[in-house]
């Protein structure tokens, strides 16, 4: 019985592994890793938030988390470019991500950006309005204030000094609600031991790009339907950031806003109905 059970688990894992693809798109001067899964006719693109280590190794868990979308959509998740330059702006991130999507032949995408990924998504939607069919923005902002950047600057200093355990714990405490942070604390400490010097260098560059970010004057260039998902207890950008976005996007023909409570900045990972709410919006 034990052997048969083990074989069943092995086969199930193998099937799950076949449900996603990790690959890299190579463009002039850089490459960008991405994940692809699902078999729907429409295209859904995820732009993740800032992280110390790439999310690409978590492809299986990501595919499982977004499985509710896979009948209707082929899903892509794009990482930031590999080996970014020392000075790498948010606009350059948006341009590079758009170039990668173009290279893969994507068009009329349903675009979801979380946190920093949401900032990139806004710039893409503003620069290429005919390319983005619908836009979902989670736990993000159109403007980073000096107060918001103070915490980010502390993360940058910790990464630059190689204080990885401190960085991971500070990062986790900011994005997760207290109960979830307590649950993940030991796991975060273990993860910090796997981070490399290159991970730290990359994090410093990507986090540094947030200083002074402000695309408020670009929001009028967005014309597609938008779903805004925020959290009342967001410890990074705050609920006011989502409410400000809603106010600045009042020109849109369709705008939907929902604020979670008790799920923190990382509501995109912690709220149990998050993906279903996205799916309902995309299918309207």
9: confidence class by pLDDT, cuts 50, 70, 90: very low
Model confidence at 6: pLDDT above 50: no
The radius of gyration computed from the CA coordinates of the chain, to the nearest angstrom, equals: 19
Which residue has better confidence, 119 or 17?
Answer: 119
Model confidence at 7: pLDDT above 90: no
The residue extents of the domains of the chain are 2-143+215-282
Question: Residue 214 belongs to what H/E stretch?
Answer: none
Ordered alpha helix ranges (H), the chain: 2-17, 59-65, 90-103, 116-127, 146-160, 164-175, 178-192, 197-208, 239-248, 267-270, 274-282
pLDDT value of residue 14: 41
pLDDT tens digit sequence for 131-178? 999 999 999 999 999 999 999 999 999 999 999 999 999 999 999 999
- 165: alpha, beta or left? (left if phi > 0; alpha if psi -120 to 50): alpha
How many C-beta atoms surround the C-beta of residue 242 within 10 A?
26
pLDDT value of residue 16: 47
* Fold of the CATH domain 2-143+215-282: Rossmann fold (3.40.50)
8: confidence class by pLDDT, cuts 50, 70, 90: very low
pLDDT tens digit sequence for 218-227? 999 999 999 9
pLDDT tens digit sequence for 180-203? 999 999 999 999 999 999 999 999
pLDDT tens digit sequence for 74-125? 999 999 999 899 999 999 999 999 999 999 999 999 999 999 999 999 999 9
- 27: alpha, beta or left? (left if phi > 0; alpha if psi -120 to 50): beta
Contact 242, 267 (CB under 8 A): no
Q: Crossing angle for the helix pair 164-175 and 146-160, nearest 10 degrees?
A: 150
pLDDT value of residue 19: 82
d(CA 54, CA 83): 12
Contact 110, 116 (CB under 8 A): no
pLDDT tens digit sequence for 112-127? 999 999 999 999 999 9
User: Over pLDDT 90: what percentage of the chain?
Assistant: 92
d(CA 120, CA 126): 10
pLDDT value of residue 21: 93
Model confidence at 2: pLDDT above 80: no
pLDDT tens digit sequence for 266-278? 999 999 999 999 9
Q: How many CA atoms lie within 13 A of 260 on its CB side?
A: 24
DSSP state of 29: T
Tell me the C-alpha to C-alpha distance, in Å, between residue 61 and each of 16, 30, 162, 168, 271.
10, 27, 28, 20, 16
pLDDT value of residue 29: 87
d(CA 169, CA 154): 12
pLDDT value of residue 132: 98
């Amino acid at each position: 019985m034990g052997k048969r059970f083990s074989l069943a688990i092995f086969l199930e894992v193998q099937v799950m592994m076949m449900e996603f693809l990790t690959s890299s798109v190579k463009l002039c001067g850089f490459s960008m890793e991405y994940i692809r899964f699902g078999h729907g006719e429409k295209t859904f693109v995820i732009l993740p938030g800032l992280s110390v280590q790439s999310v690409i190794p978590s492809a299986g868990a990501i595919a499982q988390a977004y499985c509710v979308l896979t009948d209707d959509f082929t899903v892509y998740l794009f990482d930031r470019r590999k080996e970014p330059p020392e000075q790498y702006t948010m606009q350059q991130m948006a341009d590079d991500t758009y170039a990668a999507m173009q290279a893969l032949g994507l068009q009329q995408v349903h675009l979801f950006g979380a946190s920093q990924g949401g900032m990139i998504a806004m710039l893409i939607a503003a620069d290429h309005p005919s390319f983005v069919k619908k836009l979902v923005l989670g736990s993000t902002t159109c403007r980073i204030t000096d107060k918001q950047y103070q915490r980010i600057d502390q993360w940058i200093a910790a990464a630059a000094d190689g204080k990885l355990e401190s960085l991971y714990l500070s990062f986790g405490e900011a994005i997760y609600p207290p109960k979830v942070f307590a649950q993940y604390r030991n796991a975060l400490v273990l993860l910090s031991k796997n981070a490399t010097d290159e991970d730290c260098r990359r994090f410093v560059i990507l986090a540094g790009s947030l200083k002074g970010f402000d695309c408020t004057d670009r929001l009028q260039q967005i014309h597609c339907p938008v779903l805004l998902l925020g959290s009342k207890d967001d410890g990074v950008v705050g609920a006011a950031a989502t409410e400000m976005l809603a106010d600045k996007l009042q020109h849109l023909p369709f705008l939907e806003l929902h604020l979670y409570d008790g799920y923190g900045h990382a509501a995109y990972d912690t709220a149990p109905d998050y993906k279903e709410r996205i799916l309902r919006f995309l299918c309207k």
